[in-house]
Structure formats: structure tokens, C-alpha cells
Structure 1
Amino acid sequence: MKRVVLVISSLSPGGAERVLALMANYWAAAGWAVTVYTLDDGTQPPFFDLDVAVQHRPLGIQGDSANIIVALWNNLRRIAVLRKAVLQSRPDTVISFGEKTNVVTVLATLGLGFKVIVSERTDPHAHKIGRLWDGLRWWAYARADLIVVQSQAALCYFLPEFRRNAMVIPNPVAMPSALYSERETGSSPSSIIAVGRLSQEKGFDLLLRTFARLTTLHPEWTLTIVGEGPLRSKLEALRDSLNLAGRVSMPGLVKNVYEYLARASLFVMTSEFEGFPNALCEAMACGLPVVCVDCPGGIREIIKPGENGVLVQRGDLDALAEAMHRLMSNATERQLLGRRAMDVSSAFSVEKVMRMWEKVVQ
């Protein structure tokens, strides 16, 4: 029986967390022994459901540090606690998620003889982690057995000697089989949806300002922004200042985003950078037409402009407004793009992506 340990900071809402939960459940269903170690204390239960066969063990070693001395002590403790936990699990392979967790995991497993795979979960060109952590990342990744990135764009960040020990594995796209017919019969003809953490890099302020420019032209259209985060109050204030209170809803975290995607007719993504965005792939798999800012990350490995979606130049609000206006005005084009977008469900299917993971784990 294959034994795998997965390490991540927590199982809170997020793309990396969703992918880890999917991987853990997939392998548990296949009869593997799967243990998930999180650095948090487990006070908050996992946002994503785990199979009963998956062992989830919070280690209680997460937290902020007041200064560099405390930070050093906390990280030494994290390394020691994680090392002991991994030894108890006796895995064949350890897979960690997220750059800082990757560093801690490599340090914790030095000399143990287990295969260690580190997984980058965003575009390192745009996501800055500080000079110290960046230096530690280079040191740690040189000692990992494999580096996994989500896109060719992310792979290009690494020096050639690192690329030789790296592999691109995209995120899997999981979708209920009956979803598309549900969306066709139940969707509103005038509904835009966006999904993501309410944080600066998602660019929801730009989306609100752009939508405000189109409300007179499209008085029947509404916007729903699904997600939660530190900018909620600022985004709500901006929404209200733009007189959009009756047109824009922000329902917060939802367990099943597909229920919202099924009722929408257009998906818009305005991120400053991405890794391999789950929300975009899930929207496309539902048959939604998409308008997406051409930001750093794996976007162009998902969207073929004009064929299965619309890309607009980063920072060009006029182009974003024009693209949204065009699709809001043209149901035929929306349907055509939506049908073509559904191909992502086969291109990045769970079975295909998990075969890629199993090849590197074996």
C-alpha cells in the first residue's frame, strides 16, 4: 500500500487547499494511506471535505512572530515537530504545498530518506515572499527530489538547473456531471459572476468600477462576487459609493460554488496575478463564457483568446469594459464561447491530472 504525506499551512478556503483535499480523497479512495499535516491548530475545521480514510493531523505550529529572534525559534520548532510527525507516518513520499511550507518541509525531512516533492501554488514572478524566504527557497528546492509548478510560465521563473528537476502539473477540474444542463435551464440571462478571495491581487475594485460604467447600458444585469477576505468592508463601501448596492451581491464563502456558477451567464476575472486559477477553470467547465485580464500566471495555458474566452490587456479598463459590454450584448457569442470553454473539463480532468501526480510519486 502506498503511503503519502501531504503538508500545507491549513485547510482554509483557497485554491491550494482545494487541490490538496481532492488529491487526498482520490488516493484514499484508491486504497492509499494518506496523512494530511497542517501547521494550524485545527480550531477551524477543514473547509473542504476529507474522506473518512484520510488522516488529518493539525500540528499547532502556525502563527506570527513578533521579531526575527522569535521567528527563528518558531521555525526551528516547526521543523522539529513536523520531522517527528513525518517519521511517525513512515511515508513513501512527502508532498508540500506553498513556498514557505515547502522550505520548512525540506528542512524537516533532511536525511530521512523519504521522497520529497515541493509544489509551488502561484506564479513566483509576481508573488513576492521576501529576500530571506526567497533565498531559503532556492536552497531548499535544490535539495528536494522534485519541484512541481502549475504552469509553463511559473516554470520559467526557475534557473535552468532547477528546471531539470521540475515538472508542470496543472490543477484538476472536477465538475458534477449534470451541471451543464442545470446551468442551461436555471441560469439568469443577465448575471455576471466573479470568484476569489477579497484581497488586493484579485482586482475586484477594478471589476466594480468597470461594471458601474456599464449599468446604464445594461440596466438588467447584476454582479455577484463570491468569496471572503480582508477587503470586504472597502469593497462594500466602493460598491455603495458607485450606487451599486442593488446590483452587486457579495455572499461570502460558499461550500458549493457550482450552485452560483450554474445561475450565471458570464464569468469575469480581474486578477493582478494567478497560479492556475481554479475558479476560472470551474466556470469554463460549467459552460460559462469568460472575460479575463491577461495577468501573469497560467492564464494563456487555459484560455485561447477568441476561441474559448476573451483576454484583455492588464490595466486597460476601457478594453475590459468593451469586452464585458460585447458579451453582455450578444447571447449568441456567449453561448459559442461557453460551449468551447467546456473543453477544459477534459484537458484538465481529475483522472488525467492525477495520473501525472502518480507518475512522480511512484
Structure 2
Amino acid sequence: MKITLISSSLEVGGAERVMSIIANYWAARDWQVTILSFDDGASSPFYDLDKRVEYRSLGIDNRDAYQLANLGRTLNHIRRLKKAIVASRPDVVVSFVNITNIMTLLACWRLKVPTIVTEHVYPAFGGLNRIGKFLQQWTYRRASLVTVQTHSGLSFFPADRGFETAVIPNPVALPESDPIESQLYTDDRHLLAIGKLIPQKGFDLLIRAFSQISDNHPEWTLTILGEGEMRDELEDLCEQLRLEERVFMPGTVRNIDAHLRKADIFALSSRFEGFPVTLGEAMACGVPVIATDCLSGPREIIHNGVDGLLIVPDNIDALAVGLDILMSDPVKRQLFSHHAPQAIARFGVEPVMAIWDSALRQVMDRY
């Protein structure tokens, strides 16, 4: 099998993380896997790739690629992408994230190669302008398959309007060692969050919620791993709330497992999601989790009150109450920690890649 994967970049990010897992899995099967990215290749991929994966940068400026209104420049990008796809001689093409998906479908026009496009955020929050939304609806009908991460995403691409769709959640990679259940008693406590420092992730809400209860839990600190446009704003907020010694933002790290194993609670404070990989990874490591019941993802991962806690989204007070409950109750943390790794049975690499196998067979059988 020859598969070509297409992404805007191989920098840090949820879609990029998922693509690396999928690429490595297929390469381990001795499939011929090619990754085409829009970036210039100036920096190495953030996530490790199997040495058998062929990686090629196309030098398409991401800022240009996301300006669909510049027709001439966009058509040039599409021609370059089409040439690269043809050169990779794929049996199937898989594209990641909406704008890249649109350009891929245009590039594959009349190539007679099965093309799968994947959504990696709840479609209502995809950030497309009016032109982008029109092109998405028009081109996605020509995709061999449109994958969404949760069942709630299916409503945006209904079958009765010509869309072929499937639900494929993000694969959650197993931790490097066995899960470790939450320790009941230690000298200090660690609340952990992971993600880009952008409004979507709601870290401003998390910091404010932590501020409300921090005096009641002096042994707890909050660490937020990631980088992004809101760093200055979040640092100013910590200073304003006098949390400089309690909240830490060390930036992007590679050894996520090591940080998860030091965590006593993992918090996902997002305003919206697709299918949060970090939440699944935290549960796989046996970390008690609290997450906003946002659109979409957390409610399809967490069994509320059994292996995690769901709270009202975009609500500082609700988040503060939820954090206070978990911080105050070591028995509840131990219960969540014990049940959390069972999520791997649903969202581990093997069960998710079995869904991908079925999708590939479905697509290939039509060609």
C-alpha cells in the first residue's frame, strides 16, 4: 500500500501528533508512506517519524495557503501540491485539517486517486471565512471519505447531501511504562494542563479558577505546557492575581509522559475541542482528569464520575468548584486514577487503527 499524507506543517500540534502516530504505524507495516507538508522544511519535524517515512516539504507559505481570496497564488500552490502528489504515486491520499483538505481535494481533481480528508476540530469552530465554508462544502462532497472525530461532528456533513463520512477518533499512544495510580499523600501537588496558549484552550479560565481556590490548597501548583500567542496575556494575568510562584509555563516540551507522571490532576479547560489527545494521554498514564464538557470530545472520552469529572464549559466558577472537589478528595482521585487507563481499550492505537483499516478498505473497494 502506498499512502500520501498531507499537512500544513510538522510542528507541534494535535493534528501533527496524530499524523505522526498514523504514519509510523503504517510504515511499521512496510507500507510506503509519504508526508507532504506546506512548510519550507527549515526545522525538523517536532514528532519522531519512522525512518521509513518519506518526508517532503513543499515550501508553500502557510500564510499564503490560508488566503483563499488570493486566487492566483492559491492556484500556484495547488499546482505544486498536485505535482508532488502525482510524484508520490499513492494508492490513497489522506489530508489533515480543513484548509489543507480543501487544497488537497482541488489538487486531486481528476487524478482518480481515493482521497480522505480529516477534520481535527469541531467543524463549527474551524475558523473558515465565508469563502472557505463554501469551498469546504463544495469540495468535501468530492472526497472519497470525510472523517470527523466525534459523532456530534457528523451533522455538518450529512449523507443525504452527498457526503461520505466516518467517525474516527484520535489514537492515544500508550505510555512508555505501566500506568501509575495517583499517590494519596505527598509533600506537594501538581495540577497540569497541556496545549497551545491560544483562546480555544481556556487557560485564562483555568488560571482564574485556580486563583479562586489556591489559598485553600497551598500545596498545589499549576503547570501549563505549551506555547502560543497568549503567553504575555497569561503571564500578566498571573502577575495580576499574584500567582507568579504558583503557576508555571515552561513552554513546549517533548517528554510529555514524564510530566504526566508527576501530575496529581490533569485539567482540560478548553472552550471547544475536536478530540483532545492530551486528555486521552493523561488518562492512559493514570492521571485523574477534569475537563470542560465542551463541543466536542471530552464527553465521548470521560465517563463522568467514574474515570474523570466533566464540568460546565467556559465557566470559571464551575471549574473552580470542580478543581476544589478533586484537590480535596484523595479517594476520588484514586478512583479516577484506577479507571482512567481503561480509555485505551477504546482509543488506543490498535483499536483506532482498526477503524482506519476498515475506512481504507471501504474507500479502495470503490476504486
| TMscore range, shorter length | over 0.9
- Where do 1:75-224 residues align within 5 Å? 75-162=74-161, 165-181=164-180, 190-224=189-223
The amino acid of 1:109's aligned partner reads C
Measured in 1, the distance between the counterparts of 2:67 and 2:106 equals: 18
Distance 1:186-1:253 versus aligned 2 partners, 3 A rule: farther
Offset at 1:187?
8.0
SS of structure 2 residue aligned to 1:95? strand
CA deviations 1:114-136 (Å, max 9, x no partner) are 11001011101233311100100
User: Which consecutive segments of 4 or more residues in structure 1 shift more than 6 A?
Assistant: 66-70, 185-188
Measured in 2, the distance between the counterparts of 1:219 and 1:342 equals: 29
2:291 counterpart of 1:297: no
Measured in 1, the distance between the counterparts of 2:36 and 2:218 equals: 49
CA deviations 1:126-172 (Å, max 9, x no partner) are 33311100100011101010001100011122234258610000011
Identity of counterpart residues, as a percentage?
43
CA deviations 1:271-305 (Å, max 9, x no partner) are 11000001111111111111111111122111121
CA deviations 1:215-249 (Å, max 9, x no partner) are 11001110000111011111111111111111111
Q: CA RMSD in A?
A: 2.0
Q: Please say which of residues 94-103 and 188-197 is displaced more in the overlay.
A: 188-197
Q: Residue 169 of structure 2 contacts residue 347 of structure 2 at CA under 8 Å; is this kept in 1?
A: yes
Measured in 2, the distance between the counterparts of 1:14 and 1:233 equals: 20
SS of structure 2 residue aligned to 1:358? helix
Measured in 2, the distance between the counterparts of 1:291 and 1:168 equals: 24
The amino acid of 1:228's aligned partner reads E
Distance 1:66-1:224 versus aligned 2 partners, 3 A rule: closer
SS of structure 2 residue aligned to 1:272? coil
Q: Residue 204 of structure 2 contacts residue 234 of structure 2 at CA under 8 Å; is this kept in 1?
A: yes
Offset at 1:309?
1.1
Q: Residue 189 of structure 1 contacts residue 264 of structure 1 at CA under 8 Å; is this kept in 2?
A: no
2:365 matched residue in structure 1: none
Measured in 2, the distance between the counterparts of 1:128 and 1:186 equals: 44
Distance 1:177-1:321 versus aligned 2 partners, 3 A rule: same
Compute the TM-score of the two structures, normalised by the length of structure 2. 0.94
Q: Residue 173 of structure 1 contacts residue 282 of structure 1 at CA under 8 Å; is this kept in 2?
A: yes
Q: Which runs of 5+ in 2 are unaligned?
A: 362-367
Q: Please say which of residues 309-318 and 139-148 is displaced more in the overlay.
A: 309-318
Q: Residue 154 of structure 1 contacts residue 298 of structure 1 at CA under 8 Å; is this kept in 2?
A: no
Measured in 2, the distance between the counterparts of 1:73 and 1:206 equals: 42
Measured in 1, the distance between the counterparts of 2:184 and 2:308 equals: 22
Measured in 2, the distance between the counterparts of 1:21 and 1:328 equals: 35
Compute the TM-score of the two structures, normalised by the length of structure 1. 0.95
Q: Please say which of residues 130-139 and 159-168 is displaced more in the overlay.
A: 159-168
2:284 counterpart of 1:263: no
Distance 1:51-1:183 versus aligned 2 partners, 3 A rule: farther
The amino acid of 1:81's aligned partner reads R
The amino acid of 1:206's aligned partner reads L
2:27 matched residue in structure 1: 28
Measured in 2, the distance between the counterparts of 1:163 and 1:281 equals: 32
Q: Which runs of 5+ in 1 are unaligned?
A: none
2:272 matched residue in structure 1: 273
SS of structure 2 residue aligned to 1:35? strand
Distance 1:70-1:271 versus aligned 2 partners, 3 A rule: closer
Q: Residue 123 of structure 2 contacts residue 153 of structure 2 at CA under 8 Å; is this kept in 1?
A: yes
Distance 1:161-1:187 versus aligned 2 partners, 3 A rule: farther
Q: Residue 119 of structure 1 contacts residue 147 of structure 1 at CA under 8 Å; is this kept in 2?
A: yes
CA deviations 1:62-97 (Å, max 9, x no partner) are 232499797212210111011111111111000000
